[in-house]
Amino acid sequence: MNVRHVPALLAYSPDKMRKVGLVDTPNLFCDAYCLEPGQEQTAHRHGVGDKLYYVVAGTGQIRVGNEEHAVAPGDLVCAPAGEEHGVRNPGPERLALLVVMAPKP
Amino acid sequence: MNVRHVPALLAYSPDKMRKVGLVDTPNLFCDAYCLEPGQEQTAHRHGVGDKLYYVVAGTGQIRVGNEEHAVAPGDLVCAPAGEEHGVRNPGPERLALLVVMAPKP
């Protein structure tokens, strides 16, 4: 049994958003997405696979379809399969999200 | 687009662990599990479906297979399909977890 303490595993890169792999099974993956101010994951879509975002630290903007919303710690958002989605961190703090996707793309 | 602010949605019952539905799609569900001190979800297993636990608040004990582990806020645990798993809150605080399951049982 593997207990991952997420706050201790967050890691940032100066060049682009960093993904930290936490759990990977045949059915799903769970990553931490770590964004310095100014970084983003540009909007994209998956034919299959619903994605959940849960904000662990910082503030940011999540886009699903044509809508973009401000998010803060404790916020949960679902990007259903087929919907365009992305996340960006306008700053001023670092942004960390728990991201789950199932099924895997 | 539906942003759920999880800390504001936590709800507890005096009689047993309370599940608060947050996201439900054909591929997965995400609930908050809310446990008063002394409450538990007894160990059980799913033939299909991996379950992720992420501790939002409080401390508790999570069991996967024959192992039980103390968990605290920020801890992430995966109970893979087929493995017996459960959670209990010995107290003294309330325990709140984000729980994702995919595929659904």
Ranges of each domain in chain B:
6-102
CATH code of B6-102, in short, is 2.60.120.10
pLDDT of residue A105: 84
Q: Give CA–CA dist A73/A19, Å, rounded.
A: 18
Q: Each residue of B10-47: pLDDT tens digit?
A: 999 999 999 999 999 999 999 999 999 999 999 999 88
What is the Cα gyration radius of chain A?
13
For residue A100, give both structure tokens: 């789950």
Residue B105 has pLDDT above 90, yes or no: no
- Listed by number, the residues of chain A in 8-27 with a beta carbon closer than 8 Å to a beta carbon of chain B are 8, 22-23, 25, 27
ipTM of the complex: 0.96
> Smallest Cα–Cα separation from B56: which of B16, B101, B102, B5?
B5
- Out of 2.60.120.10, 1.10.3720.10, 3.40.50.10490, 1.10.10.10, the CATH code matching A21-102 is 2.60.120.10
Contact A5 B75 (CB under 8 A): yes
Amino acid at B90: P
Q: pTM of the entire structure?
A: 0.97
Q: Each residue of B86-98: pLDDT tens digit?
A: 999 999 999 999 9
pLDDT of residue A1: 83
- Listed by number, the residues of chain B in 48-77 with a beta carbon closer than 8 Å to a beta carbon of chain A are 48-50, 52, 54, 56, 62, 64-65, 67, 69, 71-72, 74-77
Confidence of residue A30 (pLDDT cuts 50, 70, 90): very high
